[in-house]
Amino acid sequence: MNRKSLAIIAVICICSSVLQAAERTKHVLAIGIDGLRTDALDAANTPHIDALKANGSYTNVCKILGTRYQKNDTISGPGWTSYLTGVWADKHGVHDNEFGGRRIDRYPHFFNLLKQQYPDYRTASFIDWYPIDKYIVSQADVRVGLEAHGSDGYTQFDKKCADRAIKVLAEEDVRATMVYFGATDENGHRFGFHPAVPQYMKAIETVDQHVGRLMAAVKSRRNYDREDWLVLISSDHGGEGKGHGSGHKLPNIHNIYFIVSGESTAKGKLTQPIYLVDLVATALKHLDVKVQAEWQLDGKPVGLLPGQQ
């Protein structure tokens, strides 16, 4: 078979995938893993996350800071706000974990943007770092905001978040879902952010088990064969030593994983520059939301098949 024939077959396969996806209802599952250092994820035993990488596009040099603005600290408040609003801190106003100066009403959670065009689409949020739920989450039809406490609180509360999310994902008509896991960051602060730290690695591997349970719930849905699920996995920052603040010039802090997985995605490593704010634009594109100029999003859709982005 000559190259021309192979090229034609490849185009037909891509077009077929796009057409099949267009006939199905669109859904997004965004998974946030706090303080996930890239080399630690590479070294960990994470079969479920590995499977999502294999069924999609990914990069381990996604930047948590933009080229236009880098004055916010490299910590959770600004990181998760950028993850969920699709704009940098000079717009959303969150520069630290106090959330002072926030402008979430002006630059809201992407659930809010989805609801502006599809008010009947149901959304769900499961969070155990409570400030995310308190300050950022909006327009969630199912809203679980837990406040982890104790020396190993996030390990317990991550499981609670996963348990609650699994039931909703398996049984309810949700179009956009966000699930957050915090034990990775907690163990990084207690024991160290590094592949050689057993407690940190165990936390990553435990989260991977939760990810597997979430995906099993999605695949158990009654109408799963008529649905097109996009799974997005990323973080707010990496880590160095037992911290991640002031990490603007430290690659282990400002580089994170960005995974875009599903039948509507291209496959393989992403080669163009990828930024944390790209997550919202990618989710909205998959959900057929027409981005409005007044939203002033800083990100772009990435990792989707040609014709999807």
Nearest to 183 by CA among 215, 217, 218, 207: 207
DSSP label at residue 305: P
Per-residue pLDDT of the chain (309 residues; tens, 9 = 90+): 555 554 455 544 555 555 454 589 999 999 999 999 999 999 999 999 999 999 999 999 999 999 999 999 999 999 999 999 999 999 999 999 999 999 999 999 999 999 999 999 999 999 999 999 999 999 999 999 999 876 688 999 999 999 999 999 999 999 999 999 999 999 999 999 999 999 999 999 999 999 999 999 999 999 999 999 999 999 999 999 999 999 999 999 999 999 999 999 999 999 999 999 999 999 999 999 999 999 999 999 999 998 765
pTM over 0.85: yes
In angstroms, the CA 300 to CA 282 distance is 7
In angstroms, the CA 242 to CA 253 distance is 11
Which residue reads 């192979």 in tokens? 6
Q: How distant, in Å, are the alpha carbons of 11, 60, 168, 227 from that of 39?
A: 35, 9, 32, 33
Q: Which residues pair with 126 in a beta bridge?
A: 144, 179
3-state class of 230 per DSSP? Answer: strand
Which superfamily, per CATH, for 26-295? Alkaline Phosphatase, subunit A (3.40.720.10)
Nearest to 303 by CA among 230, 235, 238: 230
- What are the boundaries of each domain within the chain? 26-295
DSSP label at residue 303: S
pLDDT digits (tens, 9 = 90+) for 73-86: 999 999 999 999 99
